Structure 1
Amino acid sequence: MEHFPFPDDLVQTQRAWLVAYRELATPRPARTTTLRRRLLALSEQLWWHPFWSTPAGRAPAARVELRRVARRQEQRERCAA
């Protein structure tokens, strides 16, 4: 597995995206429009983040690894709580 030097703000944005997606995926979520708009805004932030212009960010596996890192952090926090 390759290691990518993800900036903290990029990882936090990915984590926020995962939370919004999870909330939207629940049956009959409240605030559907708000959640969709949030997901869209977070997707835009993720897509245009400056990290993707760096050599490490150009690697095809970087986006997948970002999602893995964000999920791992969430799981660790849940276990610690």
Structure 2
Amino acid sequence: MTYPYPDDLVRAQRDWLATYQQLAEPCPRHTTALRRRLLDLSTQVQWHPFRSTSPGTPAGVVTLVGC
């Protein structure tokens, strides 16, 4: 399946969702590492160059969910 988003942005969003799910499990292991990973991925997704292109267009404001 192809998306109108760059592969690295989609991958970061997928990894973010997977990491968040791991933290949401009862008694997760390695919580510090998972939280750091979540923060790193949040930064990658939020500040990805694709999101800042053409201000005012959907590409600049769309939130990737469920990719």
Task: Give the TM-score of the pair, scaled to structure 1.
Answer: 0.70
Segment drifting more, 49-58 vs 38-47: 49-58
Determine helix, strand or coil for the equivalent of 1:36: helix
Quote the Cα distance in structure 2 between the aligned partners of 1:18 and 1:53: 21
Partner residue of 1:6?
5
Give the Cα separation in 2 of the matches to 1:57 and 1:49.
11
1:24 corresponding residue in structure 2: 23
Q: Normalization by structure 2: what TM-score?
A: 0.83
Count of aligned pairs: 62
Q: Distance in 2 between matches of 1:53 and 1:44?
A: 13
Displacement after TM superposition at 1:54 (Å) = 1.4
| Structure 1 runs of 4+ with >4 Å offset | none
Aligned CA-pair RMSD:
1.4
Encode CA deviations 1:30-57: one digit per residue, 9 max, x unaligned. Answer: 0010000000000011111000111242
Q: Find the counterpart in structure 2 of residue 52 from structure 1.
A: 51
State how far apart, in whole Å, the 2-side matches of 1:5 and 1:30 are. 35
Give me the whole-angstrom Cα distance separating, in 2, the residues matched to 1:41 and 1:23.
15
Tell me the residue number matched to 1:35.
Answer: 34
Q: Which runs of 5+ in 2 are unaligned?
A: none
